[in-house]
Amino acid sequence: MLKLYDYLPSQNGFKIRLLLQHLGQPYQHVPVAIFQGESRTPEFLEKNPVGAIPVLEPQPGVYIAESNAILCYLAEGTAYLPSERLARARVMQWLFFEQYYVEPTIGTLRFWVLTGKVKANEVLAAAKRSAGERALDALERHLSRHPFLANDSYSIADIAVFAYGHLAAEGHFDLAARPAFVRWIERVKGQSEKLPPIYPYTPDAMA
Ligand SMILES: N[C@@H](CCC(=O)N[C@@H](CS)C(=O)NCC(=O)O)C(=O)O
């Protein structure tokens, strides 16, 4: 059975949980206490040299790290990742966008807000806020003309951007002026009968 090494409050992990739910794929969830150093042990660094979750173990002793690489692996051969060259490149476009413009900006700011760490990261936080605003402006511009991010159909690109993007307000980003983005959030939610839960950060994340 597939194993997913994961920390439940991670929205990078959420991406994988959402796709596995869509695929009806059973898996074993292996919790990793990242704020207690469990992702930095020699044993875990063998699985992912950078020491972060999520990590997928599709067969014993075989590991894939990086949430969006895991999404691609799992979505291969399904409608969530088209095989035609251009259509696939458009999905990739938004997966790379997510890793550069969304996760390290909106995702990190949300983490700092929820764990009381904005003040300690004041200078970096300002840069992340303007980069996050730019990402939301780009999403608003694109989604005012398209129902989904790539090829006008729901794909792992939407799953990846949705993970941290739909929680941007928790990072104190203003979504009121971004109606197309808000409508897209509802459209993505509508792809599942029930989304996987969102978990609050654990007390060890506040230290
Ligand atoms: N680009 C990576 C980021 C992974 C990442 O930052 N994971 C965090 C949790 S959201 C983590 O495990 N941090 C633990 C650490 O860095 O020690 C991905 O998309 O999978």
Residue 156 corresponds to which amino acid? I
SS3 22: helix
- Residue 198 within a domain: no
Which element (helix H / strand E) includes 19?
Answer: helix 11-23
Rg (CA), the chain: 17
Is there an atom of ligand 1 within 6 Å of 108 CB? no
Q: How many domains does the chain have?
A: 2
Kindly state whether residues 55 and 109 are assigned to the same domain: no
- Residue 92 within a domain: yes
The CA 197 to ligand 1 mean position distance, Å, reads: 19
pLDDT of residue 119: 94
Domain that holds residue 172: 85-189
Last residue of a domain, one of 41, 76, 111: 76
- Residue 205 within a domain: no
Is there an atom of ligand 1 within 6 Å of 34 CB? yes
Residue 10 maps to which CATH number? 3.40.30.10
Specify whether the CB–CB gap between 116 and 207 falls below 8 A. no
Is there an atom of ligand 1 within 6 Å of 51 CB? yes
Is there an atom of ligand 1 within 6 Å of 67 CB? yes
Ligand 1 nearest-atom number relative to CA 68: 19
Kindly state whether residues 53 and 99 are assigned to the same domain: no
Kindly state whether residues 67 and 91 are assigned to the same domain: no
The CA 88 to ligand 1 mean position distance, Å, reads: 25
pLDDT of residue 150: 98
SS3 64: strand
pTM listed for this prediction: 0.97
Average pLDDT per consecutive 10 residues, the chain (207 residues; last block may be shorter): 97 98 98 97 98 98 98 98 98 98 98 96 96 98 98 98 98 96 98 97 92
The CA 26 to ligand 1 mean position distance, Å, reads: 23
Kindly state whether residues 70 and 110 are assigned to the same domain: no
- Kindly report the protein residue whose alpha carbon is nearest to atom 6 of ligand 1: 52
pLDDT of residue 49: 98
Pure H helices in 25-121 = 42-47, 67-75, 85-97, 108-114
- Residue 206 within a domain: no
Kindly state whether residues 126 and 92 are assigned to the same domain: yes
Helix/strand/coil percent split, the chain, to 5: 55, 10, 35
Q: Best of 5, 7, 8, 12 to mutate for ligand 1, by most ligand atoms within 8 A of CB?
A: 12
pLDDT of residue 207: 81
- Residue 171 within a domain: yes
- Residue 200 within a domain: no
pLDDT of residue 185: 98
